[in-house]
Structure 1
């Protein structure tokens, strides 16, 4: 009986090729200036040289296409920050500043997809669920580090690790998104350094001493 391994491999390779072509085509069309919400499936399929029915075999709807595009973009956005949170922090504030520079650069590279992700997540439950899950995953990385610092006694013992992690993740993401939307790049370094200072002081800063009250004689 002849082996079916090679035919199956070829089918799998063809499917992966079609998927890559569709994703690349959608990204190129967005790079040309067409907003994601204005990309018709038919135009994407025609430019990718696949049948409309073939498109739907890989992506049941445009939400699934956006999620597939966003996987790489979101990973690139938070990748360097995850590395920093898991490092030893021996390089102090310079290390987190480097991570912020990388996040800003990644956002600029994938800005069209990330903007579409934020827009569509506002009304599409599948895209919103994807975005929440990914943000929750990155928040858990930060919380794990904060919990470890609390156990080591290197941060304020009154810190609420879970809430602090959420505030930091959303502050960074929203700040970079707004910054890249309104700034062409001239303020990137200032923004990176300011975010770095905010993160560092939030985690490792010493809380202010309580005010001294005058004794009543």
Structure 2
């Protein structure tokens, strides 16, 4: 049994090594300034020190390579925000500001991959499906929390939960992407706190009361 398991483990390790080398090579080449769409498979394979045929054994096409690169990038982009949406919000805007800082940092670290993901998703159905699925998963987290808050009476009962979740996700993702393209870092804290305030007021702010009725804002 051991003699059978050991060769299988070695084969698996070799496959993982090749896969990691290809991913590292593509990442390094993009870090050098080459846009993902301009990376030829042959050059990626040469940088990874693998044969072109070996590349295709692991990645049938460049779309699958981009999806593999984007897996970690997207997880880190949404990870801290998911934690905040599922957490106790007793900390107020400070908690969401922390999540926004982490999202900005993740976007900066993986900017080239995330920019390529957004570009290629515009015309590649496989990449588009991957990106839609990851945003859908995040959307479900936001919707679940907003539904729970509405049932608890801590948000405006008239809130359109699906639309609110969609607007918040689009706003945050597009704002961070645009900010990171035009700001090298000095404005990160300002953007994080502004996003936090907008999110907090959108979720927990209440519409004005009718004239003569005291306004009692909801508190989570």
Question: TM-score, normalized by length of structure 1?
Answer: 0.95
Superposed, 1:14-163 pairs within 5 Å as 14-163=14-163
How many residues end up aligned between the 2 structures? Answer: 212
CA distance in 1, matches of 2:210, 2:8: 70
2 and 102 in structure 1: CA distance in 2 versus 1, 3 angstrom threshold: closer
- Quote how far apart the aligned CAs of 1:3 are: 3.6
* Partner SS for 1:159: coil
CA distance in 2, matches of 1:2, 1:23: 31
Unaligned runs of 5+ in 2: 213-220
CA distance in 2, matches of 1:50, 1:84: 42
CA distance in 2, matches of 1:118, 1:181: 14
Alignment match, 1:11: 11
CA distance in 2, matches of 1:175, 1:210: 34
205 and 52 in structure 1: CA distance in 2 versus 1, 3 angstrom threshold: same
- Quote how far apart the aligned CAs of 1:184 are: 1.2
Deviations 1:71-125 (A, max 9, x none): 0001111111000001001110000001001100110010000000111111111
* Partner SS for 2:209: coil
CA distance in 1, matches of 2:90, 2:81: 15
Alignment match, 1:186: 186
CA distance in 2, matches of 1:3, 1:11: 13
CA distance in 1, matches of 2:169, 2:11: 41
CA distance in 1, matches of 2:210, 2:35: 52
- Quote how far apart the aligned CAs of 1:65 are: 0.2
90 and 45 in structure 1: CA distance in 2 versus 1, 3 angstrom threshold: same
- Quote how far apart the aligned CAs of 1:160 are: 1.3
Runs of 4+ off more than 6 Å: none
CA distance in 2, matches of 1:129, 1:116: 14
CA distance in 1, matches of 2:211, 2:185: 42
Deviations 1:115-149 (A, max 9, x none): 00111111111111110110010010000101110
CA RMSD of aligned residues (A): 1.3
Unaligned runs of 5+ in 1: 213-217
92 and 5 in structure 1: CA distance in 2 versus 1, 3 angstrom threshold: same
